[in-house]
Structures are given as structure tokens and as C-alpha cells.
Structure 1
């Protein structure tokens, strides 16, 4: 085991203000392919059917949704996007955020009409949903440059990626990061103006790509907690870990996170050794974001990943990426809040679960020598 490097100070401004965070899972799944979303591709592993997490962030009587996921009637996206979906991925449809709120939130007293803002982390189909179902009083919040990159939409522009209806009769607000505020190395925007919820500038994947950071518990260093909403800064936790702050742990620790399928696929009781064979270093991630159309600014995307790794190193920050299958059965979902994640020990419990996605694709040779099947 390598000695972990101490994470840098994040310099999150002190505040007694918090928000309630509820993770929304509409049960929609997308097939994510290695090589397209992260690299290198791994022989024997054809990817995952991944969820799409959205977030309901509540501050007193203000309720904000961070991302809307995939609309259940995805054939009604702009024609260009429908063709893209049909050519590149498989969708296992679930419900949608509006319906989830409308049918399950009655006990909370939070209905679609109570939402004040919808935030798009970016303008890709699996995050924009169908905002037209929400009242026109609900503002749409986007990152820098998104308005010009998105509208006019379809049908005004035949090859548009979003719809004219997404902004029709609705206030669209672009956030600015010119105020000089920083969280870690991220440029930040204080959404409510009280330190309870920040939007972060996270370029690389799409124009105006945003992440979120919500203060879920106030207090000193041992009590404070935050939830980081990573959107599509990366599509698999193996892009984030291991890191110099969280190197690969011991065999004993890794054995404790194996699920039945991974354990059955192992032909020797040494998952750490097998995984070491797939790493350039015990403190370097298994993957990086792919070079290609999904990360048009690869250097910026990798820099964003490195910033997230610094937050991931902090015990007070729970990093939740939009498509992380490994946490799906481990965190409380809407209508419950995730605010008590630190007391539940969720962060340490889920940290290495992602290895179950690809560990069966690795093997031990008959002689016991580790092979990584061209992982690097």
C-alpha cells in the first residue's frame, strides 16, 4: 500500500446555512460503453447499464432540481438526438422527474409547482429531461454559453440538440463565475447567497458544464458535510480512483467489497494483486475520460477530474457522479434525504464498490501470475 497524500484545503466559506438533498432515481438506465465514455476499453467488459441521478435541493421554501434526467418519451427529443440515441446507446426507460415528484412527494408537501428553479448541469439529453411539463414560473438555470449553444432549438433549427419548447415562455438564467469565489480549485457561484449550495464551473464535457456542492450539515471539521453532484464530469468512478489521496487499499480491504459475481469470477483470493496489474501506479486511476466527441476539451476534462479528486479526498465531501451504478443500493433515495450520509458511513462504504463492474474481466493465469488483459 502507498501512503496517501494529504488532500489540499478546499477553503469552503463557513456558513450555518444548509440544504436538504434528495437523490432522485427515475429507474432509467443507459448503456455506457468503455472506450466511448472512458479509456482504455477493457476486453471482456462491455460496460454497464448505468442510472441517471438527479437531485432535489431544498432551502426552506425554495426547491431546486439539479438535472432532469431522461424524458420517458425520449422519442420526442429533437430528431437529431433521437437518431443519436438509436445509433449509440440503449435506454431502459423508467419514469421521469416530474412524475416522481407528482406521485411520490405529496407527503413532503413538495410538488412540481413548488419548484423554483431547474438547473441543467449541461444540455445533453440524459440531463435536460422535459422541462416543459413544469410551470412557466420555474426558471431554467444553465452554465456560461449554454443559451447561445442551445437556442434556437428544434423545430426552428433542424439539427438542434434541444427543443424550442425547453425555453418557451420561461426565464433562462446563465450563472456567472466572475465573482472570484473558489471552492478548492473550482470557480464557484453561491446559488442561494448564503453558502448552502454552490454551482461549480466544470468544463471539458460540454459547453457550460456545471457541478454542484450542497452543504448538508453545518459545524466544525468533524461535523460538517457536503454532497458533490458530479454530473458528467466523468462517467465511471474508476476515472477518479485510485488517486494520490486515495491509493488502492490492501487485499483484505478489497475482499470486503466484492459482490457474489466478482468473487465467483476470481480464481485466486487476491483482488488487490489482480487490480495492481491493471494500474500504472497504485495511486493512479484505472481509467481516464475518453479522447473523442464526448470530451471535446480533453485537457479541461482531465483538469476537472483532478479537481474532483481533491474534493473526494476530503472526509466531509460525498462525491456522487450522475451515472455511478456502484452506489445505487447503498444510498437513500427520494423521498428520503441523503443529509446524514456521514453518520451512516456511506462514503467509506461505497468508495471501492465500482471495481465490481470490471473485476470479472481480469483474471489470474494458471501459474498464478496476474494478467490485466491489455488494461493499459
Structure 2
């Protein structure tokens, strides 16, 4: 057994990402919105003392020379102006702490980038749920809206043309809505992909399970050696659905420790300390799987998507950013800074297990029970 892990890591499959010397600049936009995630809606099984979290909503500015696209728009600050069906859903199931809209963040003089909402060539919706669609009408008609397979038919006519619609007519009105097709045979790992700029710098990926036409994306952040940022959207809502895995088992020691209030784990956390929280106590099994319920209507597809992400997660040149990963919020460079140098900054190893801080109360309880 490898001395670094509590189980022998399985060799991940080759990703076979096409080689390219082209890169994009990637900026993670924190919209300053907080969204309450109720565990029973998003993952299973229940974990003692973990009652959900108020998660951020990340969007991405992707720049290819003087061409700029935005991946996801987050929650519009005036969320009560969504379609009535969505407003009712928000009030019944979650709590939103409003932040800013992406167009306003771009147009703020504070960024100093000179990239305005008027410069955005495309807005890409990972899917058509309220916490990702924002308000496209804040962008000019020249900005196209890019969506996944089946999204156009499932979204429009919108409200008010259709009283029970989940999106607005104004989201698409007056602009090109382009639906991507994954019929080229391109594979990125085991994902079907589309080469967005045609030069291997930015790929849109087919990631079914959570919603019709759900998309993820992979951006090449350095060319030599190649490195990438994976934009996970809502393929899963917590890193505990990805890790541990057969490729990244629970380590014997976690440094830096995710626990600040547990004396015996404040500097270096023994992996065995949290192993008991994993189903079956297997160090290669994730803490959670996606929930069986309405938020993952294609459960089998969702699980397969998670498995594909785990293969990317095992590659040392891929950095995973899920849309609602609270553990990254104060650890990664955020807009207007770029995240391209994440590898040189050792961000991956510094943040990989930080999500376990969500389980601190559960670990403390287990320790008390043993004492």
C-alpha cells in the first residue's frame, strides 16, 4: 500500500486531450451571492452535524485574445423578477442572499480590465436553472446565448407567453440563441466535447444528469506544460461527491488540515480521523452520491458524469471548480485576477481536501464518543 494513502490508488484512464499551444485567460467571478444548499436535495446519505451550507455562485470570464465569453451568469439580484414559477420555487425551497449581476461586475471601473459587458461575444448557460441564468438582457443584443442540447425547446416560449415557464421570454428576445451539438466525435476524457474557439483552448462538455442540456467546460490555462481549469457547474454540488475516489483515496495525512478547532488535527489531520464518516468506511468511496430526487432527474446520467469528473480530478494538471464550492472561496484568485497560474501556486494540493472542514462538528462528535 502506498504510504501516502489509506488505499492503493487506481491508475486513472488517459484523458487524451488534444495537444494545443493555444490558451485562454480564465477569471473566476464570485457574484457575492449566497445560496442555501439543503443536503437532502443535493446529496446523500445524511451526515450527522452537517446541515447544509450557504454556498457561493461562481461564474467565469474566458478571454481568447480580444474575444470574450462568460460561462454562467449566477442569480440575478432582483430574483423576484424571475418567472413566477421560479420565484415560488425559490421561496419554498431555499434562501438567497443577493449579490451582483455579472454585467455590473464587468462594467465596474474597479476591475481595470477594460472588458465590458458590451465586449462579451457569448454568454454560455451551463443549464437553465435560476442560479445560473442570471439576466441575459443586461448584455447587448450582439451577445449570443449558447445553450446545451434540448434547452431551446424546453425553455421557450418563456414567461409571460407561457404562464408556467421557468425562464423569461426576454432572456432570448432579440439575440441569437445557439444550441451546441455534440456530434463531432470529439472526446475530452470520456466527455463528448465541442472545441469552442477551434484551437483547443476551450472546450464545452456534455454533462447530463442534473438538467436538460447540462454543460461543463474545460479551459487550457497554460500550454507548456499543459494545464486546465474544469468548470463543473452543477454536475455535483459539493466536492464530497467527487472525493475520495478510486484514483484519489483518502490520504494518511491531510495537510494543510481542514480542521482548526480540533487540537489533535489542527496542523496535520490523520485521514483515519474522517474515514469513519465515509459510507462503509472505504477510503476510496466519496462521502456522498447525488441525491435521488427531482434535482437529478437522470440519476444514472448524473452518476456517470460524476465518474467522468473524477477521472479529470485525478490528473495533476486539472483544477476542478464546482459552481458552489465554498471551500475555494477565500483560497483562489478571483476576478479581476486570473486563475491561470493555479498550478505554479500549488492551489490544487492546498485546497483538495479543504471541503472536509464542513465535517468538523461530525468529527468532534466522534472523538467525544470515543473518549
What is the aligned counterpart of 1:88 among 84, 93, 99? 93
SS of 2:131's partner is: helix
SS of 1:260's partner is: coil
Which consecutive residues of structure 2, in runs of 5 or more, have no partner in the other structure? 1-5
1:372 — aligned with what? Answer: none
Which consecutive residues of structure 1, in runs of 5 or more, have no partner in the other structure? 370-376
Q: TM-score, normalised by structure 2?
A: 0.94
2-side partners of 1:328 and 1:63: how far apart? 24
1:140 — aligned with what? Answer: 145
SS of 2:112's partner is: helix
1:282 aligns with 2:283: yes
1:374 — aligned with what? Answer: none
SS of 1:118's partner is: strand
The superposition leaves residues 186-208 of structure 1 with CA deviations (integer Å, 9 ceiling, x where unpaired) of 00000001100000000000000
1-side partners of 2:300 and 2:56: how far apart? 26
Q: How far did residue 258 of structure 1 move? A: 2.4
1:116 aligns with 2:115: no
The superposition leaves residues 342-369 of structure 1 with CA deviations (integer Å, 9 ceiling, x where unpaired) of 0000011100000001231232255628
2-side partners of 1:303 and 1:142: how far apart? 21
1:306 — aligned with what? Answer: 307
SS of 1:342's partner is: coil
2-side partners of 1:105 and 1:78: how far apart? 32
Contact 2:24–2:62 (CA under 8 A) maintained in structure 1: yes
2:238 — aligned with what? Answer: 236
What is the aligned counterpart of 1:157 among 151, 162, 166? 162
The superposition leaves residues 276-309 of structure 1 with CA deviations (integer Å, 9 ceiling, x where unpaired) of 1122210010000100000001110000000000
SS of 1:358's partner is: helix
1:174 — aligned with what? Answer: 179
Q: How far did residue 259 of structure 1 move? A: 3.8
Contact 2:254–2:269 (CA under 8 A) maintained in structure 1: no
1:319 aligns with 2:324: no
- Quick one: structure 1 residues 4 and 232, their matched pair in 2 at CA, closer, same or farther if it must change by over 3 Å? same
Q: How far did residue 42 of structure 1 move? A: 2.0
1-side partners of 2:298 and 2:110: how far apart? 39
1:37 — aligned with what? Answer: 42
Shifted more, 91-100 versus 181-190: the winner is 91-100
1:64 — aligned with what? Answer: 69
1:246 — aligned with what? Answer: 248
2-side partners of 1:270 and 1:99: how far apart? 41
2-side partners of 1:366 and 1:113: how far apart? 57
1:272 aligns with 2:274: no
1:20 aligns with 2:25: yes
Q: TM-score, normalised by structure 1?
A: 0.93
Contact 2:126–2:216 (CA under 8 A) maintained in structure 1: yes
- Quick one: structure 1 residues 264 and 122, their matched pair in 2 at CA, closer, same or farther if it must change by over 3 Å? farther
1:348 — aligned with what? Answer: 349
- Quick one: structure 1 residues 366 and 136, their matched pair in 2 at CA, closer, same or farther if it must change by over 3 Å? closer
2:198 — aligned with what? Answer: 193
SS of 1:304's partner is: helix
Contact 2:259–2:360 (CA under 8 A) maintained in structure 1: no
